[in-house]
Amino acid sequence: MAPKVKEQNIAVFGESGSGKTVLLSSFYGATQEPSFLSSNLYQVLADDTSQGLRLHANYLKMSKAAQVPPTNRFDAVPYSFTIRPKDGDGAAAAPSSSFGALRLVWHDYPGQWFEQDPSSDEVSRRRVETFTKLLKSDVALVLVDGQKLLDYAGEEEKYFRMMLGGLRVGLEKLKDDILADGKPLEEFPRIWILALSKADLHPELDVQGFKDLLVEKAAGDIVMLQQTLKGFVQAPEALSLGEDFMLLSSAKFEPGKIEVTERVGLDLILPVATMLPLERVAQWAEKVDMPLRMLGGLVDHANEFAVVLTGAAGTLLTKVLSKVPKVGPVLAPLAVPALAELIKSGGAKLEEIHAQALANRDYLTATLTQFRLDLDRGVKDRLLVKSPW
């Protein structure tokens, strides 16, 4: 029987030319390298073979022919990937898990959809449909185009205002269509990460420098965007923008050459999409006075992930959790604090669980703990800034 799959959605927002399709192609293409499987505990499979081939072809054309992927013109495409822990060789399932694999859905769409009104009614309808789906993701990446940042050197505030303002105005324009019944959404990206794409063009900037530049030059624009986002979501106090930052570079671009092996931050995308929402739920549960059920599907994710993550630890709490028959809101008051405790306990505890999971050949737990450890590594390597506990 195929393992039950837990789905996470990621929304990548970026202007036309900011590198969305290149990022997606490079992300997937790298996971298809023979060396990937031998150095990772999981494999990434495209759920639609033809989509996988298309992305892989994009990647190979970049690598072999220095050819960038074609742009999306009039269509948005959700790309769905299953992240399956290694199996065979006596691999064991996580003892208490209710799922055995992850699915990442990544929506790619024409960047100009925020910048201009469509030329056709059907494109207009697709645009609303796409963003309605997109805005049900857990995490949103907002791409700051590294090339534009160079073009506006010395007056970056102009670019930030245009870019963040464009996103804000675009969302405002779509608001009535997306909130069809006028009610704020329960499922909405609650974590908005500001990500520098084409970071290879800024070798002098680490993620802290990027954050400082944005805060110095665009704090007001970030606040305005935050106000707009709050108008879309229930329990808007559980929403973060301007707290998380990352660096991304899909490849090193040189005249006549695209070096796809020189990537930055792409191996943080899966950890960010899967683990950051859980970490944030645990934080919000402690900081914000509201019922956990207000966080919608995020709580379900937290429940099930917490069972897997704490499952190998063999604690009393794990035993209690594993005896709770129903996964869902009933479990949340137990699972979320357990998750919070695990995260607060720091890397040593996670390393221990990770090592134990590896010893047990429980590759699901090993993969998820690795993702969580990867977030810490991203912070240490100055590729990721995440909100402090």
Partner 1 sequence: MVDLIWATRGRSWGFRFLLFGGYSDPLSAYERAFAGIEDDVEVSRRAEERVALRFLDPLNRVDAAGRIIPHDFVVWGPLADDIHSVEDGIQKVWPLVVDVYARVWMNEKAPVAKEIQSAIDTA
Residues binding partner 1 (CB under 8 A): 16-18, 54, 57, 67-71, 73-75, 110-113, 115-116, 118-123, 145, 147
Least CB distance to partner 1 at residue 79 (A)? 14
C-alpha dist (Å) from residue 15 to 93, 145, 147, 165, 197: 42, 8, 12, 12, 11
Least CB distance to partner 1 at residue 10 (A)? 22
**Closer residue to partner 1 (CB): 145 or 267:** 145
Least CB distance to partner 1 at residue 74 (A)? 6
**Closer residue to partner 1 (CB): 171 or 313:** 171
Least CB distance to partner 1 at residue 148 (A)? 8
Q: What 3-state DSSP class applies to 384?
A: strand
Least CB distance to partner 1 at residue 73 (A)? 4
Rounded to the nearest 10°, the torsion over CA 341, 346, 350, 351 is -160
Q: Which residues contact 245 (CB under 8 A, 6 or more apart)?
A: 193, 194, 195, 196, 207, 210, 211, 214, 384, 385
Q: In what order do the strands lie in the sheet with 42-46?
A: 42-46, 77-85, 101-108, 5-13, 139-145, 191-197, 240-247, 384-385
The alpha-helical segments, DSSP class H, found in 179-296 are 207-230, 269-287
Contact 47, 81 (CB under 8 A): yes
**Closer residue to partner 1 (CB): 117 or 351:** 117
Write out the DSSP string of 158-193.
HHHHHHHHHHHHHHHHHHHHHSTTSPPBSSS--EEE
**81, containing H or E segment:** strand 77-85
**Closer residue to partner 1 (CB): 35 or 120:** 120
Contact 191, 298 (CB under 8 A): no
Least CB distance to partner 1 at residue 249 (A)? 15
**Closer residue to partner 1 (CB): 22 or 338:** 22
Least CB distance to partner 1 at residue 210 (A)? 20
Contact 303, 328 (CB under 8 A): yes
Per-residue burial over 280-304, b = 16 or more CB atoms within 10 Å of its CB, e = otherwise: bbbbbbeeeeeebebbbebbbbbbb
**Closer residue to partner 1 (CB): 67 or 227:** 67
C-alpha 195/C-alpha 167 separation (Å) is: 14
**Closer residue to partner 1 (CB): 106 or 188:** 106
Least CB distance to partner 1 at residue 18 (A)? 8
